[in-house]
Amino acid sequence: MTALDDVLHPPVEPLRHGRLAVDARHTLHWETCGQADGLPALFLHGGPGGGISPTSRRFFDPARYHVVLFDQRGSGRSTPLGETQDNTTPLLIDDIEQLREHLGIERWLVFGGSWGSTLALAYAQAHPERCLGLVLRGIWLGTQAEIDWWLYGIRHFFPREWEAFASHLPPEERHDLLAGYRRRLQHPDPAVHRPAAQAWSRYEGACLTLRPDPATVEAFTEDRVALGLSRLEAHYFAHHAFLAPDQLLAGMPSIAHLPACIVHGRYDVICPVQQAFALADAWPGARLQVVTEAGHSSMEPGIAAALVAATDRFAAQGTF
């Protein structure tokens, strides 16, 4: 079996890192890696609320790329952690532009997975002139159907995991899992919001991969990860990702000229594969690769190999 380290680029340390205050409330953690004069690329993490990690740098050849990575509002090492006030998709797009200008970058390759694919599409459609192309993984378009699937539909594939998720709420609240969880996640008492955050994140972590991966579940239930992920996912779910209905597919004409590679796991139950096909159908020039032995996680070797191959092709050819 192929190991993850066999397909990713070698570990690399940041070139620079810093903090950027984007308003009176939110301050972002950012870093760069690779070559200062390399091909600019932007990495957008998932969640919302997930955050970057050292592995995030390894999808890019450090000899050819200048990669910018940051923790979005309320995520990772950005502060305040789990903050939902002043946290919307348009504000995240503004943050990306602030960071681009702060670092003096003209245009970049935009790379995003899961929620990162949503944000990448929304950003590219708002600022197509700033994009060289897109690498997208685990497509999520922010529709009500996708939100309902995450909350209720996954039980058809992971019944015990869903039962554990739902049973954190009393029976009388299980008809509206999102509302019940939001009340607890926003409660100021850690004795209330901490177990709710862990239950939410454990559910997602348990359903993320094709094969059971206890290490992933453990990572997702670490306190800081669970709090940022659960609060922001529930917040964005409740507001339909701050997108108009079908906004991203309707906005495809503005970026149809850009090269794109779409990578999706065939057995992804977090973000079912039909969304990748819908996006590819609306983007005739995009390259769609469905990885047969994979679920949702970018840490599955088949997904990681496809993403690395995409960034390598773009660095060599300027397309996919």
Mean pLDDT over 221-225 rounds to: 95
User: Which positions are annotated as active-site residues?
Assistant: 114, 268, 296
Q: How many structural domains is the chain composed of?
A: 2
45: domain range? 4-143+243-317
Residue 138 sits in the same domain as residue 250: yes
Cis peptide before 48 (omega within 30 of 0): yes
Nearest to 66 by CA among 93, 95, 100, 94: 100
Contact criterion met (CB below 8 Å) for 79 and 27: yes
Strand 16-21 and strand 27-34: the pairing is antiparallel
Mark whether 104 and 149 lie in a shared domain.
no
Q: Are residues 170 and 267 part of one domain?
A: no
Model-level pTM? 0.98
CATH label of the domain that carries residue 281 = 3.40.50.1820
* pLDDT of amino acid 120: 99
Q: In this predicted model, what pLDDT tens digit does every residue of 35-67 receive, in sequence order?
A: 999 999 999 999 999 999 999 999 999 999 999
In the chain, the amino acid numbered 96 is I
Per-residue model confidence (pLDDT) at position 320: 96
Q: Is 185 found in the same domain as 66?
A: no
Share of the chain above pLDDT 90, in %: 99
Tokens of 259: 């090269």
State the pLDDT at residue 2: 86
Question: Do residue 122 and residue 176 come from a single domain?
Answer: no
Q: Which of 187, 207, 241 corresponds to the end of one domain? A: 241
Query: Would you state the structure tokens that stand for residue 52, as one six-digit string?
Result: 């970057």
Do 157 and 108 fall into the same domain? no
Residues 72 and 128 both lie in one domain: yes
Token duo for residue 3: 């190991």
**Based on the domain organization, do 198 and 293 belong to the same domain?**
no
